[in-house]
Structure 1
């Protein structure tokens, strides 16, 4: 008989992968346990590299410090799209849990300068997650989000780093801003959320598409349709942990060691051998993040 704890706690480890891969997007600072424990557990199932992603200045600084301390970790630094309106207008629910007093555009510019400085570090391989999120931020936050996004695009190009995109309910505007600003050489759509038509557009532009555990959800057929048409050389896999735990463990805490569940589901959608897809994903991630 399974206990209530079993039904809500960490899922069991999957069967190890035959070919090692990377978790292209995770938030170790939001997960339980130590970084060392998370990395060891991930490595035991064939997930040997992770990209730790910052969402605000403190989180980005932590990502850079963690990547400097661990060979298996690379960092991405940025202000999450929802962080920009928080800095300008104030919000008690910032990513770091700190109360945000209204700081105006000057506060946003100061934070962007700190992100730019972090992006220059060698262990920081990407600027992100940046982009647009119209789901949690209403029309009043669009101007600040788009301003911040454009600045991040510029930082990525200036520093020669990949750009990691957070795109929620904002597909057309994200693609438009990238066209208007001129996209960096390497663009990753984290937790890809578009349809098959958008996947073809991304493929035409050479943008990487990173798929998370939600591709396994029953109601996610449009995501699977997008994955089906995405070229194997542009596909990545991620957890976005502690969020988006793959089926059949949806709702329980996610972590990098659960990547094999998602990758195996992706291989079925692509009609590819598991090892073949893992090898492609591993090569793609190394190319996207230049490590």
Structure 2
């Protein structure tokens, strides 16, 4: 389970960071992996604890993201149990080349996509960092299939894009993008951000935007209208500063939101209200 994502476990050390000052205006964590967080970080109270900690920090809604068949099923189930959680389902782009029967896995994802608490198809996309040329065809075929599923079910498409900006745009142009597209953990520069904004896509920024060397990400955030901006943890990964390298969870979203407000010059409460409204537009109502 989740083999596509677990290779970064060794990079996280120590305990969960202390809770930051809560946000006055609640926001949504648009991308988290509660299953991986619980399994790998030993969260004693499980999902309920993570949801409660997030709510206390002003993060009152969470999007639980599937990355393979098993985690997608789990995501749909936990969203049915937790009112604060909705789900997305998909095969991660690094998972697709490893499957013996990609078509069968896609059929399962299609079935899950019909669920009321499933609000997005993702994370899907392209990743040329971990998957070499031998896996590129399967990755692209999977991405194209997920685009079609998102359009058939009227759900948001949640894109994983690692070192593949031009391929992402090319494939979206070929297939025709769904009405709602989210660039998860946006990793491009200001020019790529402007192109995505022009196409109406939503850019979701993770804790990476707080890193000292992330000047290009902050530049990208500055050219993104706040109505096309989301925030995420990608927990348990990408913990924002000053806790980079420790486990991440949704209650740490305020650190990223405050960094975005500082980078863009936006009023914090106005930014939070915009993120909240965009979360409801893309994934809601909860």
TM-score category by the smaller chain?
over 0.9
Gaps of 5+ in 2: 1-12
Runs of 4+ in structure 1 displaced over 6 angstroms? none
| Distance in 2 (alpha carbons) for counterparts of 1:23 and 1:233 | 15
Using the alignment, how far apart are the partners of 2:225 and 2:194 within structure 1? 9
Question: Counterpart in 2 of 1:167?
Answer: 161
Q: Which of 73, 76, 86 lines up with 1:61 in the alignment?
A: 73
- For residues 1-291 of structure 1, the aligned pairs below 5 Å read 8-32=14-38, 33=43, 34-87=46-99, 103=100, 107-291=101-285
The Cα shift of 1:289 comes to: 1.4
- Using structure 2 for the length normalisation, give the TM-score: 0.92
SS at match of 1:144: helix
Compare CA radii of gyration and give the structure with the larger one: 1
- 1:10-38 deviation line (CA, Å, top 9, x unaligned): 10000010000000000000113200000
The CA distance in 1 between the partners of 2:205 and 2:64, in whole Å, is 16
Between the aligned partners of 1:289 and 1:149, the Cα distance in structure 2 is 20
Question: How far has the Cα of 1:290 moved from its partner?
Answer: 3.5
TM-score relative to the length of structure 1: 0.91
Tell me the SS of whatever aligns to 1:31: helix
Aligned residues: 267
SS of match in other structure, 2:48: helix
